[in-house]
Amino acid sequence: MAIKEAKTNTDLDALFTQLAEPFDPNQIKWRVTHTTQDGSRGAVVAYADPRAYTDRLNQLFTPTGWTRTYEVSTISAVTRMKKDKLIQTGKVLVTCTLTITGLGCHAGSGEDWADESNAMTTAEAQAFKRAASCYGLGRYRVRPGVDYRRFINSWVLYLDFECRRAACRNSAF
């Protein structure tokens, strides 16, 4: 449904419902955010690749019905602990403005440590997904049959998680 067709509140409600529809479980990935000091357990979070967000926007608005712009800034000379060592680094800060024709624009921010590999990509993806969440994308917590809430702040045995993730690379975990 293109935005030009959405003229009534009922049409807009249906459009926002489609935006908020959960992603297919095959598009959900899992990652360990941090581990215990001994490395035996880790906290896991679910996430969707930014391409899932892009696909949804393209499906509902066509590639010409929405745009995104990025502003990048950096902070240098920041000291932090990394692997029990004090290091000098910086931060990459990104703001993404997502505009959908006829609906307006929303902005989101993302950041990462400059010394991390793919810091720019990570900050950019985070900013885009946060801007998209203002329209409802990725904001759901429960999909019928899959309760993602049980994984919020969940700690799992790290080795068990890594083994299952490796065994399930081509399917939903």
Give the residue with greater pLDDT, 1 vs 58.
Answer: 58
Q: Taking residues 167-171, what's their average pLDDT? A: 45
**Beta carbons of 158 and 42 less than 8 angstroms apart:** yes
* Average pLDDT of the chain to the nearest whole number: 82
Q: Taking residues 100-107, what's their average pLDDT? A: 94
Q: Is residue 16 part of a domain?
A: yes
Give the residue with greater pLDDT, 163 vs 139.
Answer: 139
What pLDDT shows up at residue 163? 52
pLDDT at 135 over 90: yes
pLDDT at 6 over 50: no
Domain containing residue 41: 3-167
Helices and strands, counts by H and E, the chain: 4, 8
Q: Is residue 139 part of a domain?
A: yes
pLDDT at 58 over 60: yes
> Domain total for the chain?
1
Q: Is residue 152 part of a domain?
A: yes
Q: Is residue 173 part of a domain?
A: no
The pTM assigned to this predicted structure is 0.75
Which of these ranges, 1-5, 25-29, 93-97, has the smallest mean pLDDT? 1-5
Q: Is residue 172 part of a domain?
A: no
Q: Is residue 40 part of a domain?
A: yes
Q: Which of 149, 140, 161, 131 lies closest to 50 in space, CA to CA?
A: 131
What pLDDT shows up at residue 148? 52
- Token reading at 164: 């299952």
CATH code, domain with 89: 3.30.390.80
Q: Is residue 17 part of a domain?
A: yes
What pLDDT shows up at residue 142? 42
What pLDDT shows up at residue 159? 56
Q: Is residue 72 part of a domain?
A: yes
Which of these ranges, 55-64, 80-89, 161-170, has the smallest mean pLDDT? 161-170
Q: Which of 13, 2, 4 lies closest to 136 in space, CA to CA?
A: 13
